[in-house]
Structure 1
Amino acid sequence: MNASTTSPTHSKVIGLAVAGAVGGFLFGFDSSVVNGAVDAIRTDFSLGEALTGFAVAVALLGCAVGAVVAGRLADRLGRVPVMLIGSVLFIASAIGAGLAAGVVDLIIWRVIGGLGIGIASVIAPAYIAEISPAGMRGRLGSLQQLAITIGIFAALLSDALFANAAGSATATIGGLEAWRWMFLVGVVPGLIYGLIALRLPESPRYLVLKGRDEKARTVFEKYWPGQDADVALGDIRKSIAVDAEARRTGTLAGPTLGLKPIVWIGIILSVFQQFVGINVIFYYSTELWSSVGFPESSSFAISVVTGLVNIAVTLVAIALVDRVGRRPILLTGSLGMAISLGVMALAFSQATMTSSGPDLEGAWGPIALVAANIFVIAFGVSWGPLVWVLLGEIFPNSIRAKALGVAAGAQWIANFVVTVTFPPLSAFSLPLTYGLYAIFAALSFWFVFAVIPETKGTSLEDADTLLDRRARGAEPGVGARA
């Protein structure tokens, strides 16, 4: 690419990637908007701990289904039409949840919203990867994770604004409780996503897949003016042929509980990412801080700050991952999470039980607050983005798509388990709950130390070979080497 074409090429492709990443924003927004509404929903619908947890977590079941069907729909209908389907689901869920008459009604609309999240979680990164030149794919692909964190922050900020405007989440604005407006405002980003999708070009890969090579050439010539369109089209045809062969011959079956060891590595990475309890912070933090003595307005403000911290550390992770490497960052993150979660468990063990719940007296409240944000920092700079990097590197071409689907499914299921169990577990014992998360963080350190090699600077083929050899025990004593 010569100097004269670098700037316009970059600006056009970056624009497409940013537009595609709006799906990630909706992913983060819809999954976290419930944070400020949890306590109000429990009160208004007279829910117990278990049903509250299910109402919050049930969207994740929709996510799993949406993620499974998104790829097939995208290959049948195209990437852009599926984005529009996701937009419609988001809008319908926002309206339905905001106007829900009861908990069953709310659960149904949360599932519908989950379908939209699942679709966005697959289509946004796929579209960005397929529209980006190879030399920019890594950086532009990271926009998806950044957009998710911005969506989380936007949801937490929106919740705080509505709660403060009304006086509390259960008070009314214009005849509707503030918690209902927290859901209804999701119509705005959902509508924006749909309008943006209408203006996006279809993915060149999809066009070639459907035999519409000339339209794909037009996209390349408009958005990749410094690239050879014939070479790009040839690369896509080769990639499609490789994928077709992988679907025909690739299998996940293996000797370890029915799966290949490398597949289990992906599953375990995904489960550890969720079992440290990160989504408890983004789904329940406002209720948590209120329950231990912080005023509701302060609890909302704390959640907003936590969302902002999450954005900042994601930017740090993007900057460091190709410089420092995957393994050192993951190990450091595991240590930081284990220590901060242990401190949270200790802090909550000092709480005094009152008629309204636990109360953190003296310095224990600020200590728990600082520890929670250190936990978010440790996760956001390591296990948050880097697990997705590793999942894209460790699987052989022949099983990559299938194995990624299994690993992503494991993430949704693990997320569901943590989210649905937090209310009853925390009601029983907050120290025990955070102690369990701390144990999983410590185990994640051991897993990386013993099993995961450094894949920085290696090709995809070399990376998956390294992981596969370690998974099969071909390299004993791997924990001692960097």
Structure 2
Amino acid sequence: MNEQKSQKSFLSTIILVSTFGGLLFGYDTGVVNGALPYMAEKDQLNLNAFTEGLVASSLLLGAALGAVFGGRLSDYVGRRKNIIFLAVLFFFATLGCTLAPNVSVMVFSRFMLGIAVGGASVTVPTYLAEMSPAEKRGRMVTQNELMIVSGQLLAFTFNAILGTTMGDSSHVWRYMLAIAAVPAVLLFFGMLRVPESPRWLVSKGKSEHALGVLKKIRPEKRAQSELAEIEAALNRESEIKKATFKDLTVPWVRRIVFIGIGIAIVQQITGVNSIMYYGTEILKNAGFETKAALIGNIANGLISVLATFVGIWLLGKVGRRPMLLTGLIGTTSALLLIGIFSTLLQGSAALPYVVLALTVTFLGFQQGAISPVTWLMLSEIFPLRLRGLGMGVTVLCLWIANFFVGLTFPILLESIGLSSTFYIFVGLGLVSITFVKKFLPETKGLTLEQLENNFRNYKSGNIQNGVSADSTDEKTGLV
């Protein structure tokens, strides 16, 4: 009994430490929300609509590259070492942003920070998926999503506190940015104390070491059987000597990548990050003063955290497909109402409160359904030897979509207004609902190895559940 408690405690420590990467992800993407109005002042960085979008989105472009190279690097050096490297990069890039004397230095530093964010967005969920038992994988991986939204809530809260107490200081945005250095230090020292992924160790021929790690977080019999399952999966994939982009041409692998890219883009074109990056600007546009908008924006962060708790609970009760469909219908409806009321109530004192209520509703559906399913499915659909590369390619597409949303939103807001901008996202939401309904497989309740087998044996006509009509392997490539 004591041994089981020790195993659970150690696994909890692993989750807590590694998800500081998610906390940094959230804080660094959310802090710009409150910092931008102060950066834009003439005696600071003097931003216009384009440079405002560039400062926000340069992180996202870096994240796109970080996602690709982070996945490859984690395959080469290990998940743990890669997260340690990312912690160092988080720290120094944060200092660069904090001390930036002009737009050029800020954009460069945000780009480097983005590389760390992108690397974390691939490596941390992969590490968590490979450390977790199959029946708890959904809950463990979505702990990272919880830390992401917690980081955003912290950013919004510190923005509001600093904005209301130090808003008269022209350098207040520098203090907002500097806070991110603290979790970077905690991530670095914490990762020095946790083990490498056993799945990665087996892939490098270190099965004894992998077994030792598994025994620290599983009962002994379970550790032995899981090691055998990992080794069997690795042997089945032995024809793939090293994962390369050429492997993505194999039909069953290509189908996984198509689904992964689709899930990644769907999460972004809901318009979630227009609210997470520019929530303060949206509320100001609706009629709030800057300080009131900063305080109101805390509600967006708070509902994101609460909804993520609900999402984690739902993942154990509901399938991935129905969760994603429900979330998309909810977010699309909320955006449609924002567009309608922004026209009907234009100039009204009620408009900013209506917009705030609808952004909170939007985020309830987004963080309670769409985001948990996105990161969980991206971490679980790829076979072991392709996991780093596959995650990198799909999350690259996620960050590129994110980049275009981040860059164009302030420009659209200035040129066509709040209402028309959100109508564009409504149209994209309808496209997303169609994609999920037609192409998304169900992955709930299956081990990573069972999922791989189902994708290998996939036959047309079973696309909704992702399970083969029979057990005959397609002779289309990798076996």
> TM-score normalised to the size of structure 2?
0.86
Distance in 1, Cα, partners of 2:457 & 2:374: 16
Question: Among residues 293, 296, 307, which one is paired with 1:302 in the alignment?
Answer: 296
Which range moved further: 366-375 or 259-268?
Answer: 259-268
| AA partner of residue 433 (structure 1) | T
Distance in 1, Cα, partners of 2:350 & 2:19: 41
- Deviation per CA, 1:359-407: give whole Å up to 9, x if none: x413222221211111111111222111233445556778665443322
Give the aligned length: 458
**Residue 294 and residue 142 in structure 1: after superposition, are their counterparts in 2 closer, same or farther (change >3 A)?**
same
Corresponding residue of 2:189? 195
Asked if 1:449 corresponds to 2:430, the answer is: no
Matches within 5 A, 1:138-153: 138-153=138-153
| AA partner of residue 405 (structure 2) | V
Distance in 2, Cα, partners of 1:210 & 1:251: 19
- Deviation per CA, 1:27-86: give whole Å up to 9, x if none: 111111111111222222222211210111011111122222223323433333322211
Corresponding residue of 2:355? 368
| AA partner of residue 32 (structure 1) | G
Distance in 2, Cα, partners of 1:334 & 1:78: 35
| AA partner of residue 437 (structure 1) | F
Corresponding residue of 1:113? 113
Matches within 5 A, 1:418-429: 418-429=405-416
**Residue 243 and residue 128 in structure 1: after superposition, are their counterparts in 2 closer, same or farther (change >3 A)?**
farther
Question: Which structure exhibits the higher relative contact order, with contacts defined as CA atoms closer than 8 Å and separated by 6 or more residues?
Answer: 2
Asked if 1:343 corresponds to 2:337, the answer is: yes
Distance in 2, Cα, partners of 1:191 & 1:464: 40
- Deviation per CA, 1:133-165: give whole Å up to 9, x if none: 444333222211111111111111121121122
Distance in 2, Cα, partners of 1:380 & 1:246: 36
Distance in 2, Cα, partners of 1:119 & 1:333: 26
**Residue 194 and residue 461 in structure 1: after superposition, are their counterparts in 2 closer, same or farther (change >3 A)?**
closer
Secondary structure, aligned partner of 1:469: coil
Note if contact 2:237-2:385 (Cα within 8 Å) is conserved in structure 1.
yes
Distance in 2, Cα, partners of 1:470 & 1:50: 46
Matches within 5 A, 1:274-285: 274-285=268-279
Distance in 1, Cα, partners of 2:257 & 2:337: 34
How far 1:448 sits from its partner (Å)? 2.5
RMSD: 3.0
Asked if 1:437 corresponds to 2:412, the answer is: no
How far 1:462 sits from its partner (Å)? 7.1
Note if contact 2:60-2:402 (Cα within 8 Å) is conserved in structure 1.
yes
| AA partner of residue 294 (structure 2) | F
Note if contact 1:97-1:109 (Cα within 8 Å) is conserved in structure 2.
yes
Distance in 2, Cα, partners of 1:447 & 1:426: 27
**Residue 165 and residue 131 in structure 1: after superposition, are their counterparts in 2 closer, same or farther (change >3 A)?**
same
Note if contact 1:269-1:387 (Cα within 8 Å) is conserved in structure 2.
yes
Distance in 1, Cα, partners of 2:231 & 2:441: 33
- Deviation per CA, 1:433-459: give whole Å up to 9, x if none: 100111111222233333335444455
- Deviation per CA, 1:404-427: give whole Å up to 9, x if none: 332211111100011100011000
How far 1:225 sits from its partner (Å)? 5.0
Note if contact 2:438-2:464 (Cα within 8 Å) is conserved in structure 1.
no
Corresponding residue of 1:32? 30
Corresponding residue of 1:76? 76
Corresponding residue of 2:249? 253
**Residue 457 and residue 437 in structure 1: after superposition, are their counterparts in 2 closer, same or farther (change >3 A)?**
same
Note if contact 1:451-1:470 (Cα within 8 Å) is conserved in structure 2.
no
Asked if 1:89 corresponds to 2:89, the answer is: yes
Corresponding residue of 1:317? 311
Secondary structure, aligned partner of 2:288: coil
Distance in 1, Cα, partners of 2:72 & 2:435: 34
| AA partner of residue 409 (structure 2) | F
**Residue 235 and residue 331 in structure 1: after superposition, are their counterparts in 2 closer, same or farther (change >3 A)?**
closer
- Deviation per CA, 1:250-284: give whole Å up to 9, x if none: 733379xxx94553333233212111110011101
Distance in 2, Cα, partners of 1:206 & 1:332: 35
Note if contact 2:130-2:198 (Cα within 8 Å) is conserved in structure 1.
yes
Question: Among residues 3, 6, 9, which one is paired with 2:7 in the alignment?
Answer: 9
Note if contact 1:9-1:226 (Cα within 8 Å) is conserved in structure 2.
no
> TM-score normalised to the size of structure 1?
0.86
How far 1:4 sits from its partner (Å)? 5.6
Secondary structure, aligned partner of 1:245: coil
Asked if 1:412 corresponds to 2:410, the answer is: no
Corresponding residue of 1:178? 172
Note if contact 2:308-2:368 (Cα within 8 Å) is conserved in structure 1.
yes
Distance in 1, Cα, partners of 2:305 & 2:409: 24
Corresponding residue of 2:473? none
